Structures are given as structure tokens and as C-alpha cells.
Amino acid sequence: DGGGAGAGGDLLSLLSAAGSTQDGEFDAAELRDQVLIFLLAGHETTATSLAFSLHLLGRHPEHQARAREEVLRVLGDRAPEAADLERLPYLTQVLKEAMRLYPAAPVIGRGSVAATEVAGHAVPAGADVILAPWVTHRHPRYWPDPERFDPDRFTPEAEAGRPRYAWFPFGGGPRACIGQHFSMLESVIALAMLLRAYEVEAVDTDIPVSAGITLRTEGPMRCRIRSLAGRGRSGADLAG
């Protein structure tokens, strides 16, 4: 709004003040591209992960109840804060498992800067290389019964027993998503607030998806939302 812009606190003003790493200032095209990247990478992907997390919890009420119990025990009625991320391990596992089954970026593109060899396959310099989290995340070599929703795949012990890049929704290496830590924090806090306030029941269970720049459903992904206002910590009605 006008107040935010006048204070110089909006995204466009911050980018203009920051300047380009190339020559010290942004031209109009660079500003446009940077804003689009922030909006695409920072909003649509997070919304996608949250939507599929709620859908999966709506299909698996036992996991939803366990996650809600953790949220109520840790947060109570207070506002969540950044330090709560490490206090909500099961909710973090829920989010990671949702991102395994439905990675917001189902494929990731890279370009080879030099000739190399990967698993016995020659990769020439300048080649386009496509990595597919969707495929790796469902590979039975790393994920027993890969179609099953199981947040306990992401306990510290389970994660230690898998190759590092069996799960890579944010990419990896020096060009991994720079916002991955903020995204996890934002998503866990948002999911915690939703589970504290609402009970979710999935209506549509067969969800065809398609892959563009980000993963999306080909039809509705409806759910029933019930307010938990006036209910006890377990979700049961206080009046009986």
C-alpha cells in the first residue's frame, strides 16, 4: 500500500536499494525478474506444500491427531515463534513426508558447465540435466512402500540411514534453494496454527496431478474444515 511504499519497506523498494551484483544497480527487466522469482519461489511452492500436507492429514486422521497433540502441548494458546521449529519434530516430519510425496518442484533443471560422468553416463559440457525429485522420492530403493504416507520416515534415525539426496525438494549443492530454511519455518508455523484451530477431513481422495514449473492438481482437492473453537485439547467437545 501507499504507506509501505513510502517507508521503503516493500519488496520493490528493497530490491532497488540493494542494487545488482553485476554493475551496482538494477534495470527494469532485472527488477521484474527478481520480483517474479520471489513471488513464484516464495509463495506458490509454500502454498503447494501446505495444501498437500493438509490433504494428506485429512486422509489420515491418526497422523492429524498426533500432530495436533504436539502442537497443543508445545504452543498451548500462545503465538508460535521461530524457536518452535525444533520443538515440533513430528509436525516437521509430516511436512517433509508431504514434500516427499508431492514435491512442489517435481523436476529441477541444471546445466553442466564442464564434461563429466554420472553413474557411468557421459554428460557433455553445456548439456541440460533434469533431476526429478518426484521419481527419486518414490523409488523403492530408498522408500519402502513408497506410496504410503508415513511421517516416521523422517525421524533422525531413519534419515541417517538414507543417502543424503534421497530427499531433495529444494535441490542440493551450492545452487540449492536459498529460501529452504525460511520455507520450512514458515510452513511448519502455518500448519501448526491451522491444526490448532481446525480439524480437516479430505473429501477428494483420488488427486490427479500434473507437472509444470510447480506441481498442481488437475481438479479440485476439496476438504471439510471444522472449527475446534470451544473444544478441549484433544479436540473433543467440552460439553460432551
The alpha-helical segments, DSSP class H, found in the chain are 2-6, 11-18, 28-39, 45-59, 61-75, 89-101, 133-136, 156-160, 180-197
Which pLDDT score, from 0 to 100, does residue 237 have?
A: 31
Distance CA 58, CA 199 (A): 8
Q: Give the catalytic positions in this structure.
A: 45, 170, 177
Question: Which CATH superfamily groups domain 22-104+133-227?
Answer: Cytochrome P450 (1.10.630.10)
pTM assigned to the model: 0.82
For the chain, the structural domain boundaries read 22-104+133-227
Is the CB of residue 14 less than 8 Å from the CB of residue 35?
no
Which pLDDT score, from 0 to 100, does residue 1 have?
A: 42
**Residue 190 grid cell:** 502455518
Q: What SS3 state is found at 57?
A: helix
Is the CB of residue 208 less than 8 Å from the CB of residue 218?
yes
- What's the number of CA atoms in the CB half-sphere (13 Å) around residue 192? 29
Which pLDDT score, from 0 to 100, does residue 25 have?
A: 67
Element (H or E) spanning 225, and its range?
strand 223-227
Which pLDDT score, from 0 to 100, does residue 231 have?
A: 66
Q: Which residues pair with 110 in a beta bridge?
A: 129
Is the CB of residue 143 less than 8 Å from the CB of residue 166?
yes
Helices (H) and strands (E) in the chain, counts: 9, 8
Q: What is the mean pLDDT of each run of 10 residues along the chain (240 residues)?
A: 52 68 69 74 85 98 98 95 95 98 95 94 96 97 98 98 96 86 92 97 92 88 92 39
Which pLDDT score, from 0 to 100, does residue 75 have?
A: 96
